[in-house]
């Protein structure tokens, strides 16, 4: 074409005009820490595994998840999922059902027979783990993945620790528990059951262990000083729950009184109900003050379990209990009123907390114990070099998820310690708060509720109460994730840039800014649904 001078121009020639020089601030991509991840005691990358689940790639999701926590099927049932309380979606409609998707992924893995990734190398080091509960098995898994030889000593006859002896079947079916434990064993972890460690130093010396992780749990039921007649049947909750795992089921009678207000009290009462008893919980304060999780109390009451609030047990007799009514003082503490009554009871179960059996630690130099638990540093190591501890035996909230988190953390520090190094966690990323999001882009979608077992079977059998999601609704639920702070490749930045200054790198590769043309308008930041871009002042 014979183009006239100046009037007619070649297409796209404006690329010669680098408008990036106009910019006073520049957008940068970042991965903010999603609040769910921040909240998770087990340190799961929840947003990360949901990302895979959203596309229906459940195996990748499961593999991503199990990098941090090898027990999703267990977690999906017993974790108290505080992540959901932190979920930003809760401010939009309802929190994402993280726990239910985890439940689905865990079950899917068991159904499909997915195996954990075996270690790539062998370090030649040998680590002793004491206790095959959540914390111990979590540590065993992570240590094995680091390439260390791992031997677990378990005092009891089965794997699972408190998950088996403290959590009733109707919340955690035993085949699920067993399967996830075995999967860790299959990685090459040696387990010695019925093998109580009497003295840690002796055992380490004898077994030539290079380090040890102690996670013996808290198995000793606390006894309150309740005067009881010889004929009175008084047992502790942990013993009761443990005996449920054996051949000889405990004889509790019809009228079972459970004393306490924690989750264990609820577990015991619901267990007794399923054994045909009529359980009554006696608790010294009110429902609002009850430490048990609300949903567990709710489920128990649905199942017909009665609670006697503001009551303490003063005395146990052969077939009755003396109760004193309490009243809350101005500070909310229960105070005796001097009013008594008698209730009939065939047995009394005490669910007043547990203590740790610290016998194995006697004579260990440097080790500190206070308030009945072992003191550890930020690296989970006790005062004695090479001996680490976690789970219920160290000062922390006592639940499965915390224990699993301890196991992972300890494994990282043990791994570093074995190499004479120090593990430094990656710097904490800034948290993706609700205000970072542009929620316009998320369609309204209510939470999917997992099916509940019908009430008759809940009252009479140990069948699992809470069902799982099926594939379609697990996918739906996964897709409710807002992907807080982490790019999910929605193409918004690529689309909304008036200057075509965003380069799309292709599926899975995210985007790049073309600073030659980016004028720094900030539209990409404003319209990023998940807060994965921020503006930074340009150095001029």
Partner 1 sequence: MLKQTEGSHAVAEAVALCRPEVICAYPISPQTHIVEGLGEMVKAGEVENCEFINVESEFAAMSVAIGSSATGARTYTATASQGLLFMVEAVFNAAGLGLPIVMTVANRAIGAPINIWNDHSDSLSQRDCGWIQLFAETNQEALDLHIQAFKLAEEVSLPVMVCMDGFILTHAYERVDVPTQEQVDAFLPPYEPRQVLDPKEPVSIGAMVGPEAFSEVRYLAHAKQMQALERIPELAEQFKAVFGRDSGGLTHSYLTGDADTIVVAMGSVLGTIKDTVDEMRAAGEKIGVLGITSYRPFPIDNVRAALQNAQRVVVLEKSLAVGIGGILSTDVRMAMSGLQLHGHTVVAGLGGRAITRKSLATLFAKATRGELGHLTFLDLDWNVVNKQLERERTTRRSGPAAESMLRDIGVVAARIG
Partner 2 sequence: MSFQPVHFYQTGTFTVGNRLLSPEERSVQANLERTNSLNSGHRACQGCGEALGARYAIDAAMNAARGRLIAANATGCLEVFSTPYPETSWQIPWIHSLFGNTAAVATGIAAAIKVKRQQGQMADVRVVAQGGDGGTTDIGFGCLSGMFERNDDVLYICYDNGGYMNTGVQRSSATPPAARTATTMPVGPEPGNAFGQGKFVPAIAMAHEIPYVATATVADLRDLEHKVTKAMGIRGARYIHILVPCPLGWGAASQDTILLARLAKETGIFPVFEAEHGEVTGVLKIRRQQPVDAYLKLQKRYAHLFGKKPAVETIARLQAAADKNIRKYGLLDQEAN
Dihedral sign (CA 72, 74, 76, 81): negative
8 binds partner 1 per the rule CB under 8 A: yes
Q: Which part of the chain contacts partner 2 (CB under 8 A), choosing from 127-135, 199-207, 411-419, 504-512? A: 504-512
Query: Would you tell me the crossing angle of helices 294-302 and 263-274 to the nearest 10 degrees?
Result: 20
Among 288, 420, 440, 456, binds partner 2 (CB under 8 A): 440
11 binds partner 1 per the rule CB under 8 A: yes
Q: Which does 507 bind (CB under 5 to 8 A by kind): partner 1, partner 2, none?
A: partner 2
Smallest separation (angstroms) from partner 1 to the CB of 14? 10
Q: Which CB sits closer to partner 2, 393 or 525?
A: 525
Q: Which CB sits closer to partner 2, 201 or 445?
A: 445
Supply 393's token pair.
């035996």
378 binds partner 1 per the rule CB under 8 A: no
Q: Which does 527 bind (CB under 5 to 8 A by kind): partner 1, partner 2, none?
A: partner 2
54 binds partner 2 per the rule CB under 8 A: yes
In the DSSP assignment, the letter for residue 391 is G
Report whether 237 contacts 259 (CB < 8 A): no
208 binds partner 1 per the rule CB under 8 A: no
Pairing mode of beta strands 334-344, 347-350 = unpaired
Q: Which CB sits closer to partner 1, 337 or 500?
A: 500
Supply 87's token pair.
């979920």
15 binds partner 1 per the rule CB under 8 A: no
Interface pattern 119-138 for partner 1 (x via CB under 8 A): --------------------
495 binds partner 2 per the rule CB under 8 A: yes
Smallest separation (angstroms) from partner 1 to the CB of 11? 5
Q: Which does 515 bind (CB under 5 to 8 A by kind): partner 2, partner 1, none?
A: none
Q: Which CB sits closer to partner 1, 6 or 251?
A: 6
452 binds partner 2 per the rule CB under 8 A: no
Dihedral sign (CA 35, 263, 322, 255): positive
Q: Which does 17 bind (CB under 5 to 8 A by kind): partner 2, partner 1, none?
A: partner 2
What number of other Cβ atoms are within 10 A of residue 439's Cβ? 14
455 binds partner 1 per the rule CB under 8 A: no
Smallest separation (angstroms) from partner 1 to the CB of 1? 5
Q: Which CB sits closer to partner 1, 11 or 246?
A: 11
Return the SS3 of 388.
Answer: strand
b/e 326-359 (16+ beta carbons within 10 angstroms → b):
beeeeeeebeeeeeeeeeebbbbbbbbbbbbebe
Among 186, 421, 516, 538, binds partner 2 (CB under 8 A): 516
Report whether 365 contacts 357 (CB < 8 A): no
Q: Of 20, 183, 189, 48, give the one whose Cα is nearest residue 112.
A: 183
Q: Where are the alpha helices (DSSP H) in 348-464?
A: 400-418, 455-460
Return the SS3 of 280.
Answer: strand
14 binds partner 2 per the rule CB under 8 A: yes
Report whether 477 contacts 469 (CB < 8 A): yes
488 binds partner 2 per the rule CB under 8 A: yes
60 binds partner 2 per the rule CB under 8 A: no
Dihedral sign (CA 206, 208, 210, 216): negative
Q: Of 382, 383, 379, 380, give the one whose Cα is nearest residue 422.
A: 379
Q: Which CB sits closer to partner 2, 153 or 442?
A: 442
Q: Which CB sits closer to partner 2, 182 or 500?
A: 500
Residue 398's contacts (CB-CB under 8 Å, 6 or more residues apart) are 218, 354, 392
In the DSSP assignment, the letter for residue 452 is B
**Residues touching partner 2, count (CB under 8 A):** 58
Rg (alpha carbons) of the chain, rounded to whole number: 28
Q: Of 162, 174, 155, 63, give the one whose Cα is nearest residue 108.
A: 63
Q: Which does 16 bind (CB under 5 to 8 A by kind): partner 2, partner 1, none?
A: partner 2
Interface pattern 32-51 for partner 1 (x via CB under 8 A): --------------------
141 binds partner 2 per the rule CB under 8 A: no
Report whether 50 contacts 44 (CB < 8 A): no
Q: Which does 4 bind (CB under 5 to 8 A by kind): partner 2, partner 1, none?
A: partner 1
Smallest separation (angstroms) from partner 1 to the CB of 7? 6
Q: Which CB sits closer to partner 1, 12 or 366?
A: 12
4 binds partner 1 per the rule CB under 8 A: yes
b/e 116-144 (16+ beta carbons within 10 angstroms → b):
beebeeebebbbbbbbbbbbbbbbbbbbb
16 binds partner 1 per the rule CB under 8 A: no
Bridge-partner residues for 349, per DSSP? Answer: 235, 258
Q: Which does 18 bind (CB under 5 to 8 A by kind): partner 1, partner 2, none?
A: partner 2
**Quick one: 286 exposed, middle or buried, by C-beta within 10 A (0-12, 13-18, 19+)?**
middle
Distance in angstroms (rounded) separating the CA atoms of residues 219 and 275: 23
Query: Which residues of this chain interact with partner 2, rule CB under 8 A?
Result: 6-7, 9-19, 22, 54-55, 440-445, 476, 478-483, 488-492, 494-501, 504, 506-508, 514, 516-517, 519-523, 525-527, 529
Query: Which residues of this chain interact with partner 1, rule CB under 8 A?
Result: 1-11
């Amino acid at each position: 074409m014979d183009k006239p001078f100046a009037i007619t121009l070649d297409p796209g020639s404006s690329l010669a005009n680098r408008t990036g020089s106009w910019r006073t601030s520049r957008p940068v991509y970042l991965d903010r820490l999603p609040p769910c991840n921040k909240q998770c005691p087990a340190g799961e990358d929840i947003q990360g595994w949901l990302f895979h689940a959203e596309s229906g790639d459940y195996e990748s999701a499961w593999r991503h998840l199990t990098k941090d926590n090898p027990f999703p099927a267990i977690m999906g049932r017993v974790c108290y999922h505080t992540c959901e309380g932190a979920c930003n979606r809760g401010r939009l409609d309802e929190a994402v059902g993280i726990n239910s998707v985890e439940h689905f992924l865990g079950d899917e893995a068991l159904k499909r027979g997915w195996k954990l990734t075996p270690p790539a190398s062998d370090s030649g080091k040998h680590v002793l783990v004491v206790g095959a509960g959540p914390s111990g098995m979590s540590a065993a898994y992570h240590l094995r993945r680091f390439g260390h030889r791992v031997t677990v000593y378990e005092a009891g006859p089965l794997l699972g620790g408190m998950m088996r002896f403290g959590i009733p079947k109707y919340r955690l079916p035993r085949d699920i528990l067993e399967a996830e434990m075995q999967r860790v064993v299959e990685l090459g972890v040696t387990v010695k059951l019925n093998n109580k460690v009497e003295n840690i130093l002796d055992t380490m010396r004898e077994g030539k262990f290079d380090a040890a992780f102690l996670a013996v749990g808290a198995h000793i039921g606390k006894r309150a000083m309740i005067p009881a007649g010889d004929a009175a049947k008084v047992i502790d909750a942990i013993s009761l729950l443990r005996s449920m795992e054996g051949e000889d089921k405990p004889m509790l009678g019809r009228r079972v009184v459970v004393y306490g207000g924690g989750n264990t009290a609820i577990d015991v009462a619901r267990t007794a109900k399923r054994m045909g008893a009529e359980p009554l919980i006696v608790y010294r304060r009110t429902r609002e003050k009850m430490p048990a999780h609300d949903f567990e109390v709710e489920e128990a009451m649905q199942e017909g379990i009665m609670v006697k609030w503001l009551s303490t047990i003063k005395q146990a007799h052969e077939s009755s209990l003396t109760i004193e009514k309490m009243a809350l003082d101005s500070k909310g503490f229960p105070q005796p009123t001097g009013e008594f009554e008698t209730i009939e009871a065939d047995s009394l179960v005490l669910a007043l907390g547990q203590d740790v059996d610290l016998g194995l630690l006697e004579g260990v130099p440097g080790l500190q114990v206070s308030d009945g638990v072992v003191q550890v540093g930020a690296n989970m190591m006790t005062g004695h070099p090479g001996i680490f501890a976690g789970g219920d035996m160290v000062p922390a909230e006592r639940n499965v998820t915390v224990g699993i988190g301890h196991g992972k953390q300890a494994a990282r520090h043990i791994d570093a310690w074995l190499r004479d190094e120090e593990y430094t966690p990656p710097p904490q990323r800034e948290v993706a708060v609700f205000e970072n999001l542009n929620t316009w882009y998320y369609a309204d979608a209510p939470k999917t509720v997992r099916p509940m077992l019908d009430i008759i079977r809940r009252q009479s059998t140990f069948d699992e109460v809470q069902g799982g999601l099926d594939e379609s609704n697990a996918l739906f639920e996964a897709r409710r994730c807002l992907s807080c702070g982490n790019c999910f490749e929605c193409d918004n930045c690529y689309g909304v840039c008036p200057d075509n200054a965003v380069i799309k790198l292709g599926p899975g590769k995210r985007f790049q800014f073309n600073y030659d043309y980016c004028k720094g308008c900030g539209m990409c930041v404003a319209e990023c649904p998940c807060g994965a871009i921020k503006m930074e002042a340009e150095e001029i």
